[in-house]
Structure 1
Amino acid sequence: MLKRFGVPSEGLGLKIESRGSPPHGGGEVILTIPVIDKLTAVNWLDEGMVKRIRGVTYSTRVSSQFENTMIHAARGIFNRLLPDVHIFTDHKAGPQAGKSPGYGISLVAETTSGSFISADATVSYAQGEAG
């Protein structure tokens, strides 16, 4: 998506060291973006039709079964509409799981015009709270 604004893909990186959920967080993300002088303006005139969906589910300090349930539910809806749906899992435990339990899903739909539409949903609660 940054390529549309004139950001070169060389030197661009995103690494998730650990995931954290509210209220206590504890996640660490490293984002590397090359230095550029200016961004290019983008006109979004045609969103196009969805041609593929990619996504990731995550869980921290809860059962990884939450991720399987989210994938099953999402694919139950999307596979009726298009065949190119891939959702990956990212279960974290121990020090990489942050300080609070939680789980979520992030989905990105790529369209025929090269646009990207995203949606995220998360659930988190403090330890000791009733779920």
Structure 2
Amino acid sequence: MPDLQFALVVSALCTSGLETLNVPEELRRRVFDACWALVSTDPPPTNPRERVLDLRFGTELTLDAIVAAIRQLFAEAGISTLTWDHAPSDPTRPSSPAAEPLIDRLQKLYPDPPPTADPSDRN
């Protein structure tokens, strides 16, 4: 997974409130706070809705530091793989008309697999 995607997914998971994520709440807070300290001079927000990393203005060096901090904190805690159990959510809003052509192309490129009755058919 590319570093930017890794950093965004991990920070989102750490602030998601998912009860089934295999990361203790205290470690989630530490991961987010460490990443926040690398992109902001302000203290980390306490309001859960504001605990979002904005990496648009960061540099490659900032991203490298965020990835290193995440990996170090997880390694110290003995976590090598993130796992959770959460059913996919329905979209919260429709796609914009400008995005429809891209969505159509992606659906042609990656069509949904046909349903199978026998789970052993999934190889």
Query: Does TM-score exceed 0.5, indicating one fold?
Result: no
After TM superposition, the score normalised by the length of structure 2 is 0.24
After TM superposition, the score normalised by the length of structure 1 is 0.23
